[in-house]
A = this chain, B = another copy of it.
Amino acid sequence: MSEIIKPRLEVCLSPALLHLFDVKNSIVVIIDVLRATSTICTALHNGAAKVIPVATVEECVNIGRQLNAITAGERDGKIADGLLHGNSPFEYPEEFIAGKVLVLTTTNGTKLLHMAKDAVQIITGSFPNISAVCEYLISQGQPVILGCAAWKDRVNMEDTLFAGAVVSRIKAHFDVNCDSALAAETLYQSAGNDLFGFMKKASHYQRLARYGLEEDIRFCLTPDGANVLPVLRNGELVKEK
């Protein structure tokens, strides 16, 4: 009897655990739901030429000047000194971002992205582009690591929930033997149809809500509002044709 060998699907809950996974032979999905990866797919969906993720404000300023690009990034919930824009997906409508280059500095997401640089392919995932992510992963037939950016290496709820949503959608196509994946999927199912309500108990919700960002959170938890696939090519995130 022949048996189809399915590729592995695993969830890495924190960058501090990434060394336990076989990054080199996997597609890595960078997940930073609130709000970096939600904003990245939104900018590309609205016509940005590309998004360049950088680690520091200084790099952001320098590259932005070289490329005459839009610079964006926050530190502690405020636009960082020297940059012009923040992390909200609502800052990047088509009339503003179409055809432009966005240089974005985030702490958690960018760190993970650089750690995963040897992966077969890096893409970014979030609820606004969940369908594009799932279709791509199924189509590739390769091992997958769903990499949560977390919060200063601490496991967070929103990235875990997104990983669980992906597991729940694509698991039939993969070999899932990973308790983090089982945990993430179970959490996602527990939240049911009320991700926003469920997230109100989470630590990051409380941080962002203090800044008046409930609408951002609602968009970042809603499927397919900006359903394109950002892929990393030569250090730049571009929309997969």
Contacts and interface: CB of A to CB of B under 8 A. Distances in A.
A153 interface: yes
Contacts of A154: 17, 20, 178-180
A182 B153 contact: no
A206 B182 CA distance: 14
Nearest to A205: B179
Contacts of A189: 190
A119 interface: no
Given A14-B17, A20-B153, A155-B13, A183 B183 contact: yes
Contact of A203 (B14, B160, B177, B201): B177
Nearest to A161: B183
Contact of A178 (B160, B179, B203): B203
Interface residues of A, number: 28
Contacts of A186: 186-187, 190
A183 B201 CA distance: 10
Interface in A14-28: 14, 16-17, 20
A156 interface: yes
Interface of A: 13-14, 16-17, 20, 151-157, 160, 177-180, 182-183, 186-187, 189-190, 201-204, 206
Q: How many copies does the complex hold?
A: 2
Closest 5 CB pairs of A and B: A157-B179, A155-B180, A156-B179, A186-B190, A190-B190
A183 B203 contact: no
Nearest to A13: B155
Nearest to A154: B20
25 contacts: A13-B155, A14-B17, A16-B17, A16-B20, A17-B17, A20-B152, A20-B154, A154-B179, A155-B180, A155-B183, A156-B179, A157-B179, A157-B182, A160-B179, A178-B203, A179-B202, A179-B203, A182-B201, A183-B183, A186-B186, A186-B187, A186-B190, A187-B187, A187-B190, A190-B190
Nearest to A11: B155
Contacts of A206: 177
A157 B177 contact: no
